[in-house]
Structure 1
Amino acid sequence: MRPVIRKVIAEWSPPRPLTSPPAPFLFHVHADGNDRSGLRVIATDFQSNTFQAIKSRLQLEDLRDDIGIGGSWSEFVNYVTTSLRSGDVKLVMEGFLESGGASYAKLIAQKAKGMPRISISLGKLVDGAASAAMANLSLELYKEFKEVQHSLVEEQESKYQLTKVVAAEQEKNVTLQKQLDMLLNSRKQKLQKLSDRDNSDSTSVMVSQDSPDKHAAYNPSSTKGASRVVPAHRRSKVRGAVLDDTEDDA
């Protein structure tokens, strides 16, 4: 299982109203170095209270039976890890000592309300064992910090590279859009020129067909009228001649 390091607020059982509230604790749960299938739990306030529990595979099997978790072993380990990472975790101290602190404690975790509760009993560490446990937890905190820092640096670098790619794509898109606009404008201008030329040719043809000279040349009535025009003096003489001829004949 992946190590779990979390802060937890301790409480006394039974409550001790005349004492000041316990200091905040850090607890560290990880696979036991001597038995990879086992579990090691450390909880400390870095003062007078440091507790530890080491659970073998067999003891964890008994814990599994006690809390009633079925399924595979990996599902059980996953449930324990998820419960310890949830918000419902507390450290209950019992057995107040005159020298200060508690004689033992319990780490209690629950994945969600109504689900099985995990309870791990912890024994008190003193002197060198307590110092070694606190030192080990401090080193684990430093390792956790470095991992988070490394992940953050990688994420920032990835974000920077992604920003560069996005900026390059945006610049490329702007350039392509400009080229497209130029092509569209050029095509539009060509189409406009062709349209203007067609309109000009059409107008010229219409003007040519509507000219007065052309109407006169092709107007049949005007041509007929022009062929019948006779001077006034000739018309009167002809009519006189016709009348004279008519009388002689009679």
Structure 2
Amino acid sequence: MGFEDLEPIFGQPKAEWSAPNSTPLRPLLFHVHALDPSRLRVLVTDFHSNTYEAVRSVQHLEDMRDNIGIGGSWAEFIDYVTSSLKSGDVKLVLEGQSNSGGAAHAKLIAQKSKGMPLISISLAKLLDATSIEAIANFSLELYKAFKSIHSSLVNEQERCYELTKVISAEQEKNGSIQRQLDTVLYSKRQKSFRINDTATSDSLSVTSLQHSPDKQAAQSPASAKVTRRVVPAYRRAKVRGFLLQDTENDAEN
């Protein structure tokens, strides 16, 4: 149980006086980090004349946990504290008047969300060399955090660039495969069209032959009947003579 895994937290609190005060306030920043596995440090400064600090041990935070009534494990409590400090709803309430100017004391108040328990940490004002050293350390830690974020951003950009190159190569490969496929399909389609054209031409040729005058005359039933009814001339004469002879015989009888 401790602060081994605590990541540094930076933020800008909303500063206000606990009582009406005409003294203008400069913008302030806060920094929360682990001094060692058993101590937590909270530093607030405007980088001029107002610098405040609090150091809290594990036992101090355990007492805070009991006072505000947050249950669960130690890890869950620390997670709640860090989430509250990162929520954006952090205030710095300034109290009293210091002989060196500004407020004599300050209190950092954070809340994870509306209606949730408040995290309140009282801060003491730092003076002279102690204040200067605290500001210097704050600036250095802020720069380290910036470098870390910048390095992470650069690494992420490089990773995205490599992924973009891989995606572009895959798209080019897919495009080449698609062009080859289109060529094969086009060739097959053209071959199919030629086969269909040949079949259509043959069908038209057969149809033309079937509808030709000679073919129709050869297949006409009427022509066939007329051909079967034609009788040679000598047979027609003989029949007529036979009929006449029969008629004469009948007359004689």
Could you say which TM-score interval applies, normalised by the shorter chain? 0.7 to 0.9
For 1:60, the aligned partner's letter is L
Counting only pairs closer than 5 Å after superposition, residues 1-250 of structure 1 correspond to structure 2 as 1-16=6-21, 18-19=22-23, 21-33=24-36, 36-219=37-220, 221-226=222-227, 228-229=229-230, 239=240, 243=244, 247=248, 250=252
TM-score (norm 1): 0.87
CA RMSD, 1 decimal: 2.5
Residues 111-169 of structure 1 deviation map (CA, whole Å, 9 limit, x = unaligned):
11111111111111112211111111101110111111111111211222222222222
For 2:28, the aligned partner's letter is F
For 2:158, the aligned partner's letter is E
Shifted more, 74-83 versus 186-195: the winner is 186-195
Shifted more, 118-127 versus 156-165: the winner is 156-165
1:227–1:99: structure 2 CA closer, same or farther, 3 Å change rule?
closer
Give the Cα–Cα distance (whole angstroms) in 2 for the partners of residues 185 and 94 of structure 1. Answer: 84
Gaps of 5+ in 1: none
Whether the 8 Å contact between 1:9 and 1:23 is mirrored in structure 2 is no
Shifted more, 230-239 versus 151-160: the winner is 230-239
For 1:24, the aligned partner's letter is P
Q: Secondary structure at the match of 1:32?
A: strand
Q: Secondary structure at the match of 2:185?
A: helix
> 1:27 offset after TM fit, Å?
0.8
Give the Cα–Cα distance (whole angstroms) in 2 for the partners of residues 154 and 42 of structure 1. Answer: 30
Residues 152-203 of structure 1 deviation map (CA, whole Å, 9 limit, x = unaligned):
1112112222222222222223222222222222222122222222222222
Shifted more, 130-139 versus 216-225: the winner is 216-225
Number of residue-to-residue matches in the alignment: 246
For 2:148, the aligned partner's letter is E
Give the Cα–Cα distance (whole angstroms) in 1 for the partners of residues 122 and 53 of structure 2. Answer: 8
1:113–1:217: structure 2 CA closer, same or farther, 3 Å change rule?
closer
Residues 60-110 of structure 1 deviation map (CA, whole Å, 9 limit, x = unaligned):
111111111111000110011011111221111212024312222111111
For 2:16, the aligned partner's letter is E
Give the Cα–Cα distance (whole angstroms) in 2 for the partners of residues 13 and 223 of structure 1. Answer: 128
